[in-house]
Chains A and B, each alone.
Chain A
Amino acid sequence: AAGVIQSPRHLIKEKRETATLKCYPIPRHDTVYWYQQGPGQDPQFLISFYEKMQSDKGSIPDRFSAQQFSDYHSELNMSSLELGDSALYFCASREGGVEAFFGQGTRLTVV
């Protein structure tokens, strides 16, 4: 069965650079979530989209933005990267409010 696809799997950026993370949800899923997981931390909610509209916003810095496109894939754009942005970024998709399926994550390292 198709799963949630995230790309890239690993990304290394320098401070003050920008990064774009992509998420391809499971077909027909209407909701996409983005989470950030720092080392040894639980996942922190960043932002979510329902039917291509932003539906909820969590602890997402102003330097980050996200959108969901007409084909339902989503992108998380991160600018002016800081060392503290180094983390595992998860995307999840969901249909009808039942369980969410998570991608393998993108590990971002800022040096």
Chain B
Amino acid sequence: AQSVTQLDSHVSVSEGTPVLLRCNYSSSYSPSLFWYVQHPNKGLQLLLKYTSAATLVKGINGFEAEFKKSETSFHLTKPSAHMSDAAEYFCVVSDSGSSNTGKLIFGQGTTLQVKP
């Protein structure tokens, strides 16, 4: 069965410093992996996705993630944090090999705080 573990429930950085949000996954099949962001009282917005193409994935708002199969990781990074990045971030795995639907499994979420 597939699962996702976000290693930090809360990350605090200063504006202009790098961001690292960690995610490890477990999947029996070739996974599709996603990062979604959720601002307070808002819906979930896709930041980026990995679907077995390039292992370094670029997303919106300057975010990137690298798929490392040997480490079963898909960490999210950004070189320089902005105040508007403060939000909840979810790492999501979809078991694309098991069915057409590929149910989405969410990690526990990481709250990113950006200090001025």
Q: Are B43 and A55 in contact (CB under 8 A)?
A: no
| CB closest residue in chain B, given A31 | B101
Contact of B104 with A by CB under 8 A:
yes
| Given known A45-B105, A55-B100, contact A97–B32 (CB-CB < 8 A) | yes
Stretch of A18-26, A63-71, A74-82, A98-106 at the chain-chain interface: A98-106
Q: Which chain B positions have C-beta within 8 A of A99?
A: 32, 34, 46, 49
Report the count of interface residues on A (CB-CB < 8 A): 25
Q: For the complex, what is the distance from the CA of A102 to the CA of B100, rounded to whole Å?
A: 18
Knowing A98-B32, A102-B43, A104-B42 are in contact, say whether A42-B107 is a contact too (CB < 8 A): yes
Asked if A56 lies at the interface with its beta carbon under 8 angstroms from chain B, I say: yes
Report the contact-size class of chain B (Cβ under 8 Å from the partner): 20 to 34
B12 within 8 A of A: no
A102 & B103 in contact (Cβ 8 Å cutoff): no
Contact A105 B104 (CB under 8 A): no
Q: Are A90 and B103 in contact (CB under 8 A)?
A: no
A108 located at the interface, meaning its Cβ lies under 8 Å from any Cβ of chain B in the complex:
no
In the complex, A72 has a CB within 8 A of chain B: no
**What residues of B have a CB within 8 angstroms of the CB of A33 in the complex?**
101, 103-104
Interchain nearest-CB distance for A11 vs B (Å): 15
Known: A98-B49, A98-B51. A90 touches B44 (CB 8 A): yes
The contact of A100 among B42, B99, B104, by CB within 8 Å, is: B104
A56-B99, A90-B43 are known; give 19 further A-B pairs, CB within 8 A: A31-B100, A33-B103, A35-B106, A42-B90, A43-B106, A45-B103, A45-B106, A48-B101, A50-B101, A56-B101, A58-B103, A90-B44, A97-B96, A97-B102, A98-B32, A98-B49, A99-B32, A100-B94, A104-B42
Chain B residues within CB distance 8 Å of chain A: 32, 34, 36, 42-46, 49, 51, 90, 94, 96, 99-109
